[in-house]
């Protein structure tokens, strides 16, 4: 079978390169949370599952306001959320 020479223009997708790098770093003993393929490489923690189920039961199943929820924005500004997001980068 002869394939078009145009196929030579394609390279490995960046997401697969990132996943490979994550595996290599993990093999070196580096603690990595790999989100390269669009999903975490660990099971969803139970408290997140419980919160999601509660949100569904409480009808939090619609699009958010474009600007986001005020209480969430305020929590981010006052430092309740950002430090949690930065923990893995420190």
Task: Express each pLDDT in 34-70 by its tens digit.
Answer: 888 877 778 889 998 999 999 999 998 889 899 888 8
What residues have CB less than 8 Å from 33, skipping those under 6 apart? 40, 41, 42, 88
pTM, entire model: 0.46
CB of 43 closer than 8 Å to CB of 37: no
Residue 20 phi/psi, 5-degree rounding, is: -60, -45
pLDDT band, residue 86 (cuts 50/70/90): low
């Amino acid at each position: 079978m002869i394939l078009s020479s145009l196929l030579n223009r394609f390279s490995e997708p960046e997401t697969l390169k990132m996943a490979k790098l994550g595996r290599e770093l993990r093999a070196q003993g580096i603690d990595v949370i790999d989100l390269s393929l669009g999903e975490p490489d660990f099971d969803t923690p139970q408290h997140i599952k419980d919160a999601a189920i509660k949100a569904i039961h409480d009808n939090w199943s619609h699009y958010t306001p474009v600007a986001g929820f005020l209480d969430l924005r305020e929590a981010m500004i006052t430092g309740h959320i950002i430090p949690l997001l930065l923990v893995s980068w420190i």
